[in-house]
Amino acid sequence: MNIFLLFIFFFILFALEFLYFKIADKYNIIDHPNHRSSHTKVTIRGGGIIFPIGFLLGAFYLKAEYSCFLAGLLLISFISFRDDIKPTSRRLRILFHLTAVALLFYQLGMYNISWYGILLGFVFAIGTINAVNFMDGINGITGGYGLITLLTLYYINKQIILFTDGKYLIICITSLLVFNFFNFRIKAKCFAGDVGSVSLAFIILFFLLQLILKTGNLNYLLLLLFYGLDTSTTILFRLFRKENVFDAHRSHFYQFLVNEQKMPHLGVAALYVFIQLIINVILINFFPSSIVSLVLTMVFAMITFILIRLIAEGPRRLFNSKT
């Protein structure tokens, strides 16, 4: 994609985001802070709708052959946006998510692998989608983490192994730049909403699974390691406290840093992005291609992160108190 077309695409998305703000303001698609929130201002919800819109516009221009993936993206974006407007039943959401992932797997030709491989793939995909959604709670974190992940995938595609059409990665990166202009700031103009975080996770999964299938290297799962650590340890501690893991909460480590330690949103978001960037650099340049190394690394990372949380938050908060 030449630079001129890229600029045109950027400004089209910019204009569409502004148009969405007008629509959201008119129809009251806004986020009201409550005792579970990490923000204090009424803010437009669903600004991340630019992610699926951007991908669909790019696919139309490039005459994409990803029909099943695009159908899945439309389904999962629709139900997520509906949930942003009006609470939707958990069963209906999971039905749409499973259907979308099934379409994604069909697009990638994953039904040729073993049944247990497919089952693990569904668990990983649904878990990743929910993890990214759960982590969308402060300014800058979804846009920043998504940007560093897609930039890393673009680097791998350009410099290491060609696993996808790089134009699509550029399109998604451009969408994130537009979103970050409005979200990566002290007073965010908009939040991603479920439509943003869920569709972004779905898009990242599309590229990540393409890369893993092309290389056969599961180490690339580490591109989502830091989000995975925060989400998995939070679920673990909530289970210890006998809480419903599906109920709204602010028990994540990033929420502790913002709400209890009073660290700035953008500072915490930048910290998560920086740590994941370091992980990505190590993964690309130094990490051995071995399933044993992957398992040991994930176990070591989990234990280390649990210890960090125990030291920072204290056993009483993590095991006893409800937050």
pLDDT tens-digit series, residues 23-60: 999 999 988 765 555 555 778 999 999 999 999 999 99
Contact residues for 52 (Cβ-Cβ < 8 A; gap 6+): 73, 74, 77, 195, 199, 203
C-alpha distances (whole Å) from 200 to each of 28, 178, 183 are 23, 14, 15
Total number of domains in the chain = 1
Per the CB < 8 A criterion, the answer to whether 138 and 187 are in contact is no
**pLDDT tier for residue 323 given thresholds of 50, 70 and 90:** very low
pLDDT at 321: 58
| Mean pLDDT of all residues in 1-17 | 91
Task: For 280-314, write each residue's pLDDT tens digit.
Answer: 999 999 998 899 999 999 999 999 999 999 999 99
Average pLDDT value over all residues in the chain: 93
What is the spatial distance between Cα 220 and Cα 241, in angstroms, rounded to a whole number?
32
What is the spatial distance between Cα 304 and Cα 322, in angstroms, rounded to a whole number?
23
Residue 5 has which token pair?
């077309």
pLDDT at 38: 55
- Domain with 121 in it: 3-319
CA angle (146 as vertex; 283, 94 as ends), nearest 5? 105
Bridge partners of 158, per DSSP, are none
| Mean pLDDT of all residues in 114-120 | 92
Place of tokens 């709204």: 248
CA 303 to chain centre: 23
**pLDDT tier for residue 1 given thresholds of 50, 70 and 90:** low
